[in-house]
């Protein structure tokens, strides 16, 4: 299930989820698409979507993996093959022909194949999960190096004139919304063709007209509509609008929510009301599924996060599934979306490397493309914990922010810094996120007070004193079940102590606009030899979750629930 609502009523699609042939290629020998022919009898059967590290004997495998699926097409068809997420490098072949390459991990990519003949076809995907110094994330990262096709593969059957893209923008004018719906239609035909293009919302037609599409061309059309007295999407009381664009042979649904995002007096305002953010950091990860997190569990995950009293989630540290964002939209939760630049150990030179920069910019573009219509998304975040004290970081960040602003001016641009007292980027952002671990990696938890005092002074000096500041990470490890009479290091009691003390300090600081605890659930850590930096990860897990990896509550969960529920602002 890709979304909580249907995206098409007319267009036919098929999810290619299920068993695919799979082979490891540890020596990276398969230089071309004939690789399966060399070992015709030995493939494993691997369920897609999944991470191969969850299969027996594959736990630590990082490298190349080949996937193959046979499909049958009844009649000649134009098809669109969408990979909703593949970890790392992906080369895709159809019947031995190279369709293309994608680098990334948490965003979709697609191929259009006009007039695919009837009969059997073979899709082969070469994936490479290897992390190195220029991948994003790089090899030094505090999460498990999962590999594989982690989200669904979808085959859509396209008509001769198909809806390639629908993009909805709006401006609120008083109680009304000035909506613009941009539509792109592509023609596979050899001759000019007319079609009736219609826009509706909630089942009511808003407008329709005949349009003429030239042979083989892409046609763009913008509907402009003033919707009077729209119901607003608010935190905790969401209102959603579902638009449908249709032609005689094709359609596409997009769902949005109308809301106004501003900042004032160190607070985020949604529709003019200040919202204090009560949040957690969520990895979309589970020990049995890795990053291929099943939708059913997302429902439960959201129930637990709501039970905790949260109104927001930071999607640490990569673009999460549209299904998850649909649930957040439907429950009026705020979401922070970010790309997987994880910089705590990132050498400063890396941020100036052209390939690293190009990958980062592409990831920004793809993240915004994926999440643009979700009203829950309030923040675009461009990096986490890079060395924000340097000119290299400054130049890189300017380029990233420039691209975000070009693609979407309606949300707040942010990041998370681990150098709040030396950071030179503060003035560049709408919102500043601070990651700090007093009580865990440094000093006593009371150290937050002094740090924040110094931070606010410095922000003032840099001309960033008016920005909204969020505590985007803080916390400590608590091993599930390790409870006692005193708060010993690594016990649930000690973790609960750090988190509760920290929350009290932040809530008393009028310049802090919200808190995101590190983290919601325990996650698998990086087990590779390069992980000398993560030696405190008992069991191979980052144990700072309020719930363990199977979502069972720790002491800190109960304490945070008490605190978050008592905060009424
Ligand atoms: C960092 C980082 C997180 C996690 C955390 C920790 O702040 O952003 O991904 O690694 O530290 O647990 O140390």
Distance CA 33, CA 250 (A): 34
Cβ 345 under 6 angstroms from ligand 1: no
Residue 23 is assigned to a structural domain of this protein: yes
Looking at the chain, the whole-number percentage of residues with pLDDT higher than 90 is 92
pLDDT for position 199: 98
- Count Cβ atoms within 10 A of the Cβ of residue 420 and give its class: 0-12 exposed, 13-18 middle, 19 or more buried: buried
Question: Would the CB of 140 count as within 6 Å of ligand 1?
Answer: no
Tokens of 500: 């509760």
Confidence of residue 22 (pLDDT cuts 50, 70, 90): very high
Q: Ligand 1: which of 140, 142, 284 to mutate, judged by most atoms within 8 Å of the beta carbon? A: 142
Question: Ligand 1 in contact with 544 (CB < 6 A)?
Answer: yes
- Is 385 a pocket residue for ligand 1 (Cβ < 6 Å)? yes
363 in the Ramachandran plot: left (φ > 0), alpha (ψ -120 to 50) or beta?
Answer: alpha
In a domain, 169, yes or no: yes
Whether residue 291 is found in the same domain as residue 223:
no
Cβ 3 vs Cβ 323: under 8 Å: yes
Selection from 335, 398, 402 nearest residue 370 by Cα: 335
What residues contact 366, with CB distance under 8 A and at least 6 apart? 104, 107, 108, 109, 319
254 occurs within a structural domain? no
> What is the average pLDDT across 152-169?
98
Q: Is the pLDDT of residue 178 over 90?
A: yes
What's the DSSP call for residue 233?
A: P
Domain count within the chain: 3
Residue 230 belongs to some domain of the structure: yes
Distance 383 CA to ligand 1 centre (A): 13
Instruction: Write the DSSP symbol of residue 290.
Output: B
Any atom of ligand 1 within 6 Å of the Cβ of 542? yes
Tokens of 24: 């490891």
Say how far apart CA 449 and CA 505 lie, in whole Å: 7
Cβ of 112 closer than 6 Å to ligand 1, yes or no, is no
CA of 526 to the centre of ligand 1 (A): 12
Q: What is the mean pLDDT of residues 534-550?
A: 91
Q: Can you give the pLDDT at residue 534?
A: 74
Question: What confidence tens digit (pLDDT) does each residue in 415-451 have?
Answer: 999 999 999 999 999 999 999 999 999 999 999 999 9
- For the cut 80, the answer to whether the pLDDT of residue 376 exceeds it is yes
* Mean pLDDT of the region 280-289: 98
455 lines ligand 1 (CB under 6 A): no
How far is ligand 1, taken at its centre, from the CA of residue 308, in Å? Answer: 21
Last residue of a domain, one of 187, 220, 249: 249
Residue nearest to atom 9 of ligand 1 (CA): 142
**Does the CB atom of residue 435 touch ligand 1 within 6 A?**
yes
Helix, strand, coil % in the chain, rounded to nearest 5: 20, 35, 40
Index of the ligand 1 atom closest to the CA of residue 441: 13
> Quick one: which atom of ligand 1 is closest to the CA of 385?
8
Residue 141 has pLDDT above 60, yes or no: yes
> Taken in order 403, 404, 407, 410, is the CA torsion positive or negative?
negative
Are residues 282 and 312 part of one domain?
yes
Structure tokens at 539: 């069991």
- Using pLDDT thresholds of 50, 70 and 90, give the confidence band for residue 469: very high
For residue 267, pLDDT over 70 is answered with: yes
Whether residue 207 sits in one domain with residue 323: no
Considering the domain architecture, whether residues 318 and 434 belong to the same structural domain is answered as yes
Evaluate: CB of 495 within 6 angstroms of ligand 1: no
The span from the CA of 407 to the CA of 15, in Å, is 30
Is the pLDDT confidence value at 104 over 80? Answer: yes
Residues 451 and 412 in one domain: yes
- For ligand 1, atom 3, name the residue with the nearest CA: 142
Kindly give the number of the ligand 1 atom that is closest to the alpha carbon of 316.
9
Ligand 1 pocket check for 384: Cβ under 6 Å: yes
Co-location of 137 and 282 in the same domain = no
- Burial degree of 121 (CB within 10 A; 0-12, 13-18, 19+): middle
Tell me the whole-structure pTM to 2 decimals.
Answer: 0.97
Residue 4 lies in a domain: no
- The ligand 1 atom nearest the CA atom of 416: 8
In which band, very low, low, confident or very high, does the pLDDT at 36 lie, cut at 50, 70 and 90? low
**How far does the centroid of ligand 1 lie from the alpha carbon of residue 474, in Å?**
9
Confidence of residue 529 (pLDDT cuts 50, 70, 90): very low
Q: What rounded mean pLDDT belongs to the chain? A: 95
CATH number of 25's domain: 2.60.120.260
Q: What is the pLDDT of residues 200-225, one digit of tens each?
A: 999 999 999 999 999 999 999 999 99
Q: Given pLDDT bands bounded at 50, 70 and 90, which one contains residue 132? A: very high
Q: What is the pLDDT of residue 33?
A: 55
Residue with CA at minimum distance from ligand 1 atom 4: 142
109: left (phi over 0), alpha (psi -120 to 50) or beta: beta
How far separated are the first and last CA of the chain, in Å rounded?
A: 36
CATH of the domain at 496: 3.20.20.80
On whether both 497 and 405 belong to a single domain, the answer is yes
- 5 in a domain, yes or no? no
Q: What 3-state class would DSSP assign to 426?
A: helix
> In the structure encoding, which two tokens stand for residue 402, read together?
């420039």
pLDDT at 30: 65
Residue 2 in any domain: the answer is no
CA–CA separation, 305 and 314 (whole Å): 12
- Is residue 354's pLDDT more than 90? yes
pLDDT at 223: 97
Residues 6 or more apart from 381 whose CB is under 8 A from it?
Answer: 336, 337, 338, 339, 413, 414, 415, 416, 433
Does one domain contain both 132 and 149? yes
The more confident residue out of 532 and 359 is 359
CATH of the domain at 214: 2.60.40.10
Same domain, 188 and 127: no
What is the distance in A from the centroid of ligand 1 to the CA of 360? 20
Q: Which residues contact 568 (CB under 8 A, 6 or more apart)?
A: none
Contact yes or no for 157/113 (Cβ under 8 A): no
Q: Is 338 in the pocket of ligand 1 (CB under 6 A)?
A: no
Residue 155: pLDDT band with limits 50, 70, 90: very high
CA of 500 to the centre of ligand 1 (A): 19
Q: State whether 442 and 343 are in the same domain.
A: yes
What the block records as the tokens of 367 is: 């993240």
Q: What phi, psi does 388 have (nearest 5°)?
A: -80, 15
Q: Which atom of ligand 1 is nearest to the CA of 342?
A: 8
526 lines ligand 1 (CB under 6 A): no
- Bridge partners (DSSP) of residue 523 are 542
pLDDT class of 473 with cuts at 50, 70, 90: very high
Quick check: CB of 250 below 6 Å from ligand 1?
no
Domain co-membership, 215 together with 100? no
Pocket of ligand 1, candidates 280, 283, 441, 518: which has the most ligand atoms within 8 Å of its Cβ, to mutate?
A: 518
Of 541, 542, 545, the one to substitute when testing ligand 1's pocket (max ligand atoms within 8 A of C-beta) is 542
Residue 170 belongs to domain spanning: 161-249
Last residue of a domain, one of 249, 276, 300: 249
CB 516, CB 471: distance < 8 Å: yes
Residue from 470, 472, 473 whose mutation best tests the ligand 1 pocket (most atoms within 8 A of CB) = 473
Of 155, 153, 138, 151, whose CA–CA distance to 51 is shortest?
A: 151
How open is the CA angle 297-301-303, to the nearest 5 degrees? 115
Cβ–ligand 1 distance for 154 under 6 Å, the answer: no
Q: Calculate how far, in angstroms, residue 142's C-alpha sits from the geometric centre of ligand 1.
A: 7
- Name the domain boundary from 103, 132, 157: 157
**Same domain as 306, residue 245:** no
- Output the CA 412–ligand 1 centroid distance in Å: 23
Nearest ligand 1 atom to the CA of 475 is 12
Q: Which residues have C-beta within 8 Å of that of residue 489, sequence separation ≥ 6?
A: none
Would 260 be classed as within a structural domain? no
CA of 142, closest atom in ligand 1: 10
481: left (phi > 0), else alpha (psi -120 to 50), else beta? Answer: left
pLDDT of residue 526: 82
ipTM value > 0.90 = yes
pLDDT at 259 over 90: yes
């Amino acid at each position: 299930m890709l979304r909580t609502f249907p995206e098409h009523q007319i267009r036919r699609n098929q999810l290619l989820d299920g068993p695919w042939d799979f082979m490891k290629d540890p020596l990276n020998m398969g230089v071309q698409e004939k690789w399966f022919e060399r070992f015709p009898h030995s493939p494993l059967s691997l369920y897609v979507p999944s991470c191969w590290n969850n299969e027996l004997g594959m736990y630590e495998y990082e490298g190349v993996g080949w996937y193959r699926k046979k499909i049958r097409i009844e009649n000649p068809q134009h098809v669109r093959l969408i990979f909703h997420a593949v970890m790392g490098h992906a080369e895709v072949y159809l019947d031995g022909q190279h369709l293309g390459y994608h680098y990334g991990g948490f965003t979709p990519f697609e191929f259009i194949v006009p007039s695919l003949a009837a009969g059997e076809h073979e899709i082969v995907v070469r994936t490479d999960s290897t992390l190195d110094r220029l991948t994003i994330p790089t090899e030094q990262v505090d999460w498990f190096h999962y590999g594989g096709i982690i989200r669904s593969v979808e085959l859509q059957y396209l008509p001769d004139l198909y809806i390639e893209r629908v993009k909805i923008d709006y401006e609120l004018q008083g109680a009304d919304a000035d909506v613009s719906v941009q539509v792109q239609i592509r023609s596979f035909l050899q001759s000019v063709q007319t079609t009736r293009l219609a826009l509706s919302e909630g089942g009511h037609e808003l407008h329709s007209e005949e349009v003429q599409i030239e042979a083989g061309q892409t046609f763009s059309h913008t509907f402009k509509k003033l919707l009077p007295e729209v119901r607003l999407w608010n935190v905790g009381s969401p209102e959603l609008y579902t638009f449908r664009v249709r032609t005689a042979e094709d359609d596409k649904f997009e769902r949005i929510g109308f809301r106004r995002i501003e900042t004032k007096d160190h607070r985020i305002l949604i529709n003019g009301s200040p919202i204090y953010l009560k949040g957690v950091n969520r990895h979309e990860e589970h020990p049995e599924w890795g990053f291929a997190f099943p939708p059913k569990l997302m429902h439960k995950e959201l129930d637990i996060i709501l039970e905790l009293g949260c109104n927001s989630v930071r999607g640490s540290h990569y673009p999460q599934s549209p299904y998850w964002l649909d649930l957040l939209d439907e429950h009026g939760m705020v979401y922070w979306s970010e790309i997987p630049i994880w910089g705590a150990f990132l050498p400063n030179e890396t941020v100036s490397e052209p390939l690293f920069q190009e990958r980062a910019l592409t990831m920004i573009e793809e993240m915004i493309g994926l999440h643009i219509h979700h009203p829950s998304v309030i923040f675009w975040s461009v990096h986490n914990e890079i060395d924000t004290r340097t000119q290299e970081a400054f130049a890189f960040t300017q380029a990233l922010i420039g691209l975000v602003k070009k693609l979407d001016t309606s949300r707040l641009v942010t990041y998370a810094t681990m150098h709040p007292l030396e950071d030179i980027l503060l003035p560049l952002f709408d919102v500043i996120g601070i990651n700090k671990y007093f009580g865990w990696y440094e000093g006593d938890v009371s150290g937050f007070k002094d740090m924040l005092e110094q931070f606010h002074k410095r922000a003032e000096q840099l001309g960033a004193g008016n920005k909204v500041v969020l505590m985007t990470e803080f916390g400590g490890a608590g091993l599930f079940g390790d409870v006692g009479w005193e708060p010993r290091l690594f016990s649930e009691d000690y973790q609960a102590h750090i988190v509760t003390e920290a929350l009290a300090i932040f809530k008393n600081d009028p310049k802090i606009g919200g808190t995101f605890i590190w983290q919601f659930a325990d996650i698998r850590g990086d087990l590779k030899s390069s992980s000398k930096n993560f030696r405190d990860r008992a069991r191979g897990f980052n144990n700072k979750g309020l719930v363990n990896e199977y979502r069972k509550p720790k002491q800190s969960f109960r304490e945070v629930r008490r605190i978050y529920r008592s905060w009424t602002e």
